[in-house]
Structure 1
Amino acid sequence: MSFQFERGLFLLDFVDHHAILGVPIDADVQTIRKRYLKVARKLHPDSGALEGEANKKLASEFLSKLVNPAWEKLSQEKDRTEYGIVLNLKGQQAARKGNWELGNLGKEIANASNPEHFYRASLKGLADKQYEQLEQALDITGQISELNMVYLMRKESQGGFSKGEASRTIYTGSNLPDSSQSSTRPAATHQPQAARPESVADQYYRRAEGYMAKNNYAKAVLELRDALQLEPRNGDCHALLGAVHLKQGQGTMAKIHFNKALEFDPTNAIALEGKQKLEKATGTSAAPKKPTQQPNSKKNKPDDKAGGGLFGLFGKKK
């Protein structure tokens, strides 16, 4: 059986191994290996997840003709380096061609104000269901390759298309605006983004809040660190991570993340209140001339028993 893909980088006479495995184009070898093992277990003929001879046969074909060759190419450093060079060239070729008929996700990433965020969140969503229903695997792989292609085109444009240029370069037919409309396109292309579903980083943040509510700070830290791997400039995640460190009495780490949060979002309420608490605690503990006025101060644990605020982090003033 031969497999035909008619979307994305496959249209440029290129085998998109990243799309086949469902990993980002800049994934490191550990991430690629982890994903390969997960997919290989699912597609193995002896897998308990497969029902019926037809499904087992199709899964075996996917594994031997697509997934295993993709892993072999991306697991070797030399091959992966050479492949990466060709991949970037294909991104440049796609950008030069310009006129592409795209699906919904391709159009959205072409106009996304934050293509990095949109790319990773959308790719993960597709990868999660890529090999769940084998009859949909080829179509989903094609969608991932289209995401890869448009993401490369956005990177090639050094900071992304201007809003008007994105529509003018990518869309065809009835979607192609004329040049006189380019100055008014930004407001129109921004409107759909408000309805974008919860991102992967948002999900990490939400889980971290749940762990904080249960006083499981170690897991909350892990969730937020994973979120910041995806979005290093996410002010909310930095602020919440600072709050977790503050709950653990780790003032220095808390201050670092509160400052980061305020760098990216100067109005972040958690970071502002957390930093205020830190400064108040530092000022109290830095009064050696009048120790008798503060006999019960606990400079290393300023908030352990505070009430109110985020999970009891910030107490009300009395």
Structure 2
Amino acid sequence: MNQLPKEQKLQFIRIDRGISQFNHDYYAALGLPIITSPIYIRHVYLSIARILHPDVYGFSPEEKAVATQYLAKLVNPAYDILMKEQERQAYQGIFKLLAKRLMQKSRNVPIHSAIACELLFAPNDGLYERSVSAIAKVQYQSLDNILQYTGQISELNLVYILYKEGYIYGVPNMPPVLLPMIQPKNAYFPPAYPPSAVQNPYTNSTYANVRSTYQTYQPTANSQNDDDATVIQTNEEVLNNKEIADRLKICEVYISQNDWKNALKELREVLQMNKDNSKCLAMLGVVYKNTNQPQMAKISFQRSLQLNPKEPLALKHIKDLGNSNPEQKSEPKPKPAISNEKKSLPPPQQRGWLSNLLGWASPNDPK
């Protein structure tokens, strides 16, 4: 009598929302944006694995079975795919293909969660990453809500990949790909652009200008003026800086473990996000210094100090490279003048045995 409820309880790993209704959404399974670094993927996977491990929190027998199923059929397959370079790249290629096919079919795919509808009305990278992170914090706190939160992240991922392929909801001549089931309170509808402004919604450069104009709106809780571009830019910078700070903490762990390879890879990715981050450049210099690349280390430290003359890490390590002030170049020491006159040898009694021998063999040696 007790076997039937258990079997029914284990027939649950099916998500009919977002990307998951068309293909496996491995990023949603781990609660990650689809642009996440593979190094951070491992960090998140280990955190989830510790939560779902059946022996950690003293689950009941039924809960252990459910947690084991989530770990084995949802989390582990996602980690196995996303941590392999070739498979991850091929998997990300599926996203672009899926987005293009959906726009060609012009089907109304329902978007149920309010947070995904908000992203649909105001698409931008910062709002997307912030929304995924907010859901991921509670995704695995309760076994009963895992599928619900995973579905919400998968909806966010679907909105995002369409947005990256040029889709914007409500723009004239745009196919009706997504259908929001909820209208957010802060929903913003773009102005009615003339048909000439959107001749080809997928490739036309004019459309790109329309898209950038539409993206200037970002709903915020404390915003008093939705047209204040300065406030919006500041919010995006705060979000971006927070992500960079989190990733630099991971880099510090790699450096403390002398894992120079992973530290170098992660730091280079951070520099792609912000090439003028003085701390990142200083940490990069430390990696170069410890991998026998003193010239590259010196360049990184100098660049870091140009951006922030008080960067402590750069100031500490650049002294070891023989130049405490990167802006001051040491003047080359004058070379001694070469004289054509031969120096006379000391008296024989003051020479060593080898000098006497060489002096004896030289016909020009004064006796």
TM-score range (shorter-chain normalised) is 0.5 to 0.7
Q: How does 1:8-157 map to 2 (within 5 A)?
A: 8-11=18-21, 13-23=22-32, 25=34, 39-45=48-54, 47-70=55-78, 83-96=91-104, 97=106, 101=111, 103-104=114-115, 107-108=118-119, 111=122, 115=125, 123=132, 126-127=135-136, 129-157=138-166
In our comparison, the structure showing a higher alpha carbon Rg is 2
Shift of 1:234: 0.8
- Which structure 2 residues correspond to residues 144-223 of structure 1 after superposition, within 5 A? 144-157=153-166, 172=180, 175=187, 176-180=189-193, 185-189=214-218, 194-195=234-235, 198=239, 199-205=242-248, 207=249
The Cα of 1:127 is off from its aligned counterpart by 4.1
Tell me, in whole angstroms, the C-alpha distance in 1 between the residues paired with 2:30 and 2:24.
Answer: 12
1:288 aligns with 2:333: yes
Amino acid at match of 1:43: L
Q: Measure how far apart 1:105 and its partner are.
A: 5.3
Identity level (%): 23
On the 8 A contact 2:50/2:56 being kept in 1, the answer is no
Structure 1 vs Structure 2 CA RMSD: 5.4
CA distance in 2, matches of 1:162, 1:287: 65
Question: What letter corresponds to residue 5 of structure 1 in structure 2?
Answer: I
Deviation at 1:280, TM superposition (A): 3.0
- Give the structure-2-normalised TM-score: 0.51
Match for residue 3 of structure 2?
Answer: none
Classify the secondary structure of the residue corresponding to 2:15.
coil
Per-residue Cα deviation, 1:37-63 (whole angstroms, up to 9, x for no partner): 654453243x22243344323213323
Deviation at 1:9, TM superposition (A): 0.8
Amino acid at match of 1:7: R
Q: What's the CA shift for 1:17?
A: 2.8
Give 1:170 shift.
Answer: 6.5
* Amino acid aligned to 1:281: Q
CA contact (8 A) 2:52 2:71 kept: yes
The residue matched to 2:280 in structure 1 has which SS?
helix
Aligned to 1:300: none
2:274 corresponds in structure 1 to 234
Which of the two has greater helix per residue?
Answer: 1
* Aligned partner of residue 2 in structure 1, secondary structure: coil
Gap regions ≥5 residues in structure 2: 1-10, 195-209, 219-228, 316-323, 337-367
Query: What do the CA deviations read for 1:255-302 (whole angstroms, capped 9, x no partner)?
Result: 24765x79xxxxx84179989x855332xx1242499xxxxxxxxxxx
CA, structure 1 residues 104+23, in 2 after alignment: closer, same or farther (shift >3 Å)?
Answer: closer
**8 A contact 1:16–1:145 mirrored in 2:** yes
**What's the CA shift for 1:202?**
2.6
CA distance in 1, matches of 2:85, 2:267: 27
CA drift of 1:156 comes to 2.1
**Corresponding residue number in structure 1 for 2:339:** none
Contact 1:245 1:254 in 2 (8 A): no
Q: Which residue of 2 aligns with 1:5?
A: 15
Q: Match for 1:253 among 297, 300, 315?
A: 297
SS, match of residue 280 in structure 1: coil
Deviation of residue 103 (structure 1)? 3.4
TM-score, with structure 1 as normaliser: 0.57
Number of aligned residue pairs: give it.
270
